[in-house]
Structure formats: structure tokens, C-alpha cells
Amino acid sequence: MTLEQSGGADGLARSAPRRRRSHAEKRALVEMAMQPGTSVSEVAQCFGIKSSQIYGWRRQLLAGELSETDVTPAFVRVEVAADSPPAPLPSGLADYAENSAIVIAFPSGVEMRVDGAADPGTLTLILEALNR
């Protein structure tokens, strides 16, 4: 029997995926289980978790690992800025760019040479056409 057939590592079939509880929920369950007249097993059974999980959360709480603030992922608004022109090259590099060349050799044997400063947009179009 595989884990997939049995439903989990403990061999028990799961009716729902595991639930991730926030630090606040864990603290509340631990506090509930520690109330006079309440047992850990009663709270665990009521919330469909194992007693050992509550004991583990209690250890985490006592060690200060269940902080007041949860770190939860959040979406942030992003605005895409318009394309800006490339920054000009420093004076020494501008002369070098004018006197340079790019040679691209394809596996098919075709070679392409671009003299001077290459415009990225034009170079991309040429490469795509040659690579077909």
C-alpha cells in the first residue's frame, strides 16, 4: 500500500487537506486546552486535531515561537513604469561602442556581424529572423 492509497503517512484516510493554523489560532487552542476542567484530548477531538499537536504548540508558545504577529504573504500594488531610453554611455565607452562589432555564429553556419553600437530592438528582430 502506498501513501497515496492510504491517504497519509499514518495510514488513515484524510477527508480534507491539512489545515494551516495561524499563530493566533494555535495560541487560542493551547489556552483553551489549559483551562481548568478542560482536557487536551477534549479540545483536540473537538477541533479534529491530535492531542500531540496541542502539546507541540504549547512547547512552541512557552519557547516564544508563537509570536503575536503572523507573517503572512500579501499582495502589493505594483505600477509598471513606461520604458525609459537607455542611459548614455560614459564618454570613453561611447567611442569604443562606435568602433566595435558583434559577430554571431549560428550552428547552421550562418554568421551575422553588427558594426558599431547595436540597437537592442533591431538586434532582437534580426536574431529572431535568423534563428528561424
Task: Output the tens digit of pLDDT for each of the chain's 132 residues.
Answer: 343 444 455 555 556 677 888 888 999 999 999 999 989 999 999 888 999 999 999 999 998 888 776 566 678 888 888 787 777 766 666 666 667 788 888 777 878 788 877 777 877 887 787 777
Torsion of CA 53, 57, 62, 65, to 10 degrees: 140
Query: Going by DSSP bridges, is the β-strand pair 111-115/101-105 parallel, antiparallel, or unpaired?
Result: antiparallel
Q: For 51, how many CA atoms within 13 A lie in the half-sphere containing its CB?
A: 6
The cell numbers describing 27, all together, are 495560541
Domain residue spans of the chain:
20-70, 91-130
Q: Global pTM? A: 0.42
